[in-house]
Structures are given as C-alpha cells and as structure tokens.
Structure 1
Amino acid sequence: MDAVASRQGLLMDVRDKLLFEPEYAGNIKEKIPPKSSLRIPWAWLPGALCLLQEVGEVKLVQDIGRVAVQHLDAKPYVHDLLLSMALAECGTAKIGFEKNKVSQGFEALARAQSLLRSKTSLGKIALLSQIEESLEELAPACTLELLGMPHSPENAERKRGAIAALRELVRQGLGVETSCRVQDWPCFLSQAFNRLMASEIVDLLPWDDLAITRKNKKSLESQNQRVVIDFNCFYMVLIAHIALGFSSKQKELIDKAKTLCECLIASEGTDLKLEETFCLFLLGRGNEAMVVEKLKKLELNSNSAAQNPISGKEVKHTCGANQTLEM
C-alpha cells in the first residue's frame, strides 16, 4: 500500500510540475529541453519503479533497483523495491513466453524467485508460490530448449546448467517425487538424449548402478525406474558407452557397456547377444569370427526385422558380414 500511495503522489507531483513549472517541462514544439531534472524523495522510489515497470522499462527497474537496495536510505523501502524488481522480471518472462522463448522466460522467473527469496519476510507472499509452481511446470520444456542450443563457448555455461537440470529431473522421477512435472518420460528422455553428445549421456548418471538395480524385476526401485527410463533410452545409453569407449580408446567404458548389455538381457529378456559379443570383440576377449557369426545369424533370423542395432543400417544379403562388422 505504501508503494501504491507513493506512485500516486509521484504522478500528482509530475503533473503539477509539467503544467505549472516550465523549467521541468521544457517545450516540445520549440525543441527546448527541460532545464531541471526531477528529484524525488526515497519514499517515492518504489512508486517510480512501479511506473517504469508498467510502461515496459524493465531494464531500468532492474538497474535502478540493484543500486538502490544497497543504499542505507533505501532500507525502509527495500521490500517494495525488491517486489518491483521481481514484477519487472515477471514482465520479462511474459515477453519471453509470448515469443515462444521458454528458456528466456524461465530464467527471468528464476531471477524473480531469487529476489523474493533474498528477504525472509517476502517468503510467504502469493507471487513467490506462483513463480515456484510455474518454474516446476516449465522445467522440462526449458531443459530441452537449452540442451538443443549449438555447442559454442557462449552457450557452454547454460548447457552445463541444462544438463544439471536434466540430472535433477531424472533423480526426482526415479524418487517418484510429486514435484516432478514430466508427463511422458520415454518421450522426454528420448528428446533430451538426441540433443546430447555420447560423453554427456555417459556422464549423466551412474548407469551401471541403475542397470544392476533394474535386474531385480520385483524391487520397487526397478519398477519405478522402468516408468522413467524405458528400454529404448537405456539402449541409447549402451550405444553411447560403446561409441565413446571406442572413439576415445577407454576400455573401461566398453566394460560398462558389456555390463549394461548383461543387465538389459536379464531384465528385459531382449536379444542383445550381438551387442554383447561386439563388446567382447572390442575388449579383445572374442575374435572377429565370433562377431561375424553373430551377424550372419542376425541376417538369417527373420524375426529380427533385419535391423543391425550397432550401425543403424539394414543388414542385407548384398552386404557381407565382414563389411557390416567394419561399419
């Protein structure tokens, strides 16, 4: 209410000065600028920020507010100053959402949340709870948008933040927390993984531990995990381990890929013998003939839909098994 009163007082003062004091008004027709700038008391500053926010000058609100809250004279008005700054951030968020820039709006709301949380006495206002609810709802969409940003130095920090957010969302999902707003986990994770490099997928979670948990089909943790991470997502994790292990010559990643294979075979009953044998081949524990034999069996097995999971190419009779292995 103090901010509302100061806003009204400021408007009346400006009106009177413009009407009756030419040194403040100047003359637009004759292009004469005002001789004096307006000076306002500290008590009117929250009202001034409200007015600036209302006419869309959100950056000015932030710049002025950031300096003002550090000033001793502003102490009695700090709550209203912070609230004005938070509302300006909400205005920025609204513009971002209208332009379909989810991450821009999300980040503005996060700044508004931070401003309101900086004072314990603002912790119970309705605006803060509304902002927090919106952030929870928008987290999955914002994460996907940021993960899809091009790999460049200027985007590096935001992408790291998005990967951390993805990790936290999965953690919430695996813990069956009610605050997690992901509606369709397989679809969400598939989209997220398609935006990540193999190294980022491998480093995202302790996949070997999760795979071992998955083997126990009857455990609650295993059942929860299947809702969040379906077979296709886990298969992408397996391929990421093989790809990164092969390209960077890290045998320990191929070892982990083999463990993932074994666990998926045990938990899903899916035929991943080709992938398992391929891991053994890369580890030097199996010879080329073993892998070629598996590929030939895959070719002959009509139930396999003639799909080679490693290369993503069709295994046709015109393409020899040795050539497929090389691919």
Structure 2
Amino acid sequence: MPPASDRIFGLDDLVDNLQVEQLDTYLFRGDTKVRRTPRVFGGQVLAQVVSAATRTLTSERYLHSLHAYFLRPGDVEKNIIFEVDPIRDGGSFTTRRVVARQSGKAILNASMSFQKLEQGLEHQMDMPEVPGPEGLQTDWEYWESISRRYPGRLPEDVGRFRAIDARVIQRRDLDDLSVEAAPVQGMWVKANGTLSDDPAVHRMILAYASDMQLMGTSLRAHPVHFWTPGFQGASLDHAMWFHCDFRADKWLYYHMDSPRAGGARGFNRGSFYTRDGKLVASAAQEGLIRFTPDK
C-alpha cells in the first residue's frame, strides 16, 4: 500500500468515511480519516450527522432541511460519537436532533427534518448564465499548483483528495489580494465517480460539498485570504434545504453570494442547480472572519 502522502483519496473512500458505524439504536461512531485540514472539515461532520440521523428513520422519508451549529474544532486524530435524539415521528414529517462529540464535548449540534414525498405548488429563481465546467481547473490541480508556489504552506497530500470534482469559475489571485471584487462566486461540483441510487447518499455528498468555498465568498470583497497574517476564520453555523431529488454524481452549479459582513462575521448563501437550470438545494452559512492585522 502506498504511503498516505502518495495515496489518492477517491469517491469510494469518502463514501465509506461518511457512513457512520451504528453502536446502539441512537448511537453512532464516525471516522475522521480525511485529513485535508489541521482540524476536521466541517462538511465531513455535516455529512456524517445526515448519515446518523437517516439510519434512525422508521419510514420512507427524505431529508429536506438541516440546521447545524459548529461548537468546537474537531480533532482529526479522534473518532466522533453521534448521539441522535428521535424528537418526533409524525404523519408527514420526522424530526431528528444530533449532537456530535469528541472527548465528551460537543463539537456540533444539528437539527434535521425529513418529509414523505408529496406534490405541491412549484416555482424557482432562474440559474445565472455561467460557463460550463469543461476546461475549468479542478481543485486538485489548483492546490497542487499552489503547493508548488508556496512550499511548506500546505499539507503534502493537498492534491490527493479527488473524491469531489470541484471547479471554481473565477479563482482569486493569491499574489494580488489588493484586488477587491463583488462577494459573488460560482463553482461546478460533482462526485468524482458513480454513486448508488440511494437519495440519502446523494444528500450526504452534497452536504459535504456545500461547505467547500462557501465561507470564502464573504472574503472576496476584502484584501484578505485564509492565509493572511492576523486572520482567523471558522464556520459558525450551516443550513441546507433539499428541494427535490438530484444526483450528486452529475454536474451541479453552486452559485454563492455574501450579502453582508460585519461584527467579525460573514454571511454567505448558496444555490445548487442542475445543468438544465433546476434549483435542487440551497445553503446558508455564517462564518467567523476576524481580522486583527497588528497581532
């Protein structure tokens, strides 16, 4: 087996990582083997709480709403314990609360609502006109180029995560952060492979991907990046709404904007569209964007 720094982390690895182990009826354990960052990636914990809550359903229901608070940074060297509270099983909706813990302390608290399939009134906002994913640089190509330009600044395996194919339409120039732009960005994203037909798996993967790039949207209007000395950033909360079924292994366009930043917090919104313009999911997140350049 190749060394960890030389091993490609693919889609099967990610799906296996996100599927939590059931210890008891409402108790689960999750692995943290995806070491992309010094602390556990927020999208990983989001996807794992979806996995844990879904495993406790007693009837066919589909996740339509997720609201989570990030309470503490996760330790990549420790497993995560997920405690599910089966708050309500109603005629149309099912509600679950999940607390993710490490070393006895909560690192994330989430509430989820599941609904049986129903028909109803429909409308949506149109998808923006954007170029397609063909020809755009992949995330792993981008981070490998950044690693070569800034030796020692990034983990050695930064380009080895290839489970998600993410392609930002217009990346920031890290060599010229004085250029301020509108706090709007777009990214094409899909699972880098083929997923099963289980809708819960596709929601789990999209929950993971929803935390990619979203918080950085609020920084685009400022000459600051995550590496800027004196900058401290962290996700504070995260919400998602799944409007209908979709396939996370087909291209989805993730349109993000940040209508407001202030009080050391940046507010970000995101919308996922299929290639033919159908809005399938929405996201919102507030992040800590504390900047103290004199420290």
Asked if Structure 1 and Structure 2 have the same fold, meaning a TM-score greater than 0.5 normalized by the shorter chain, the answer is: no
TM-score normalised per structure 2:
0.24
Larger Rg: 1
Which structure shows the higher strand fraction? 2
The TM-score, its normalising length taken from structure 1, stands at 0.22
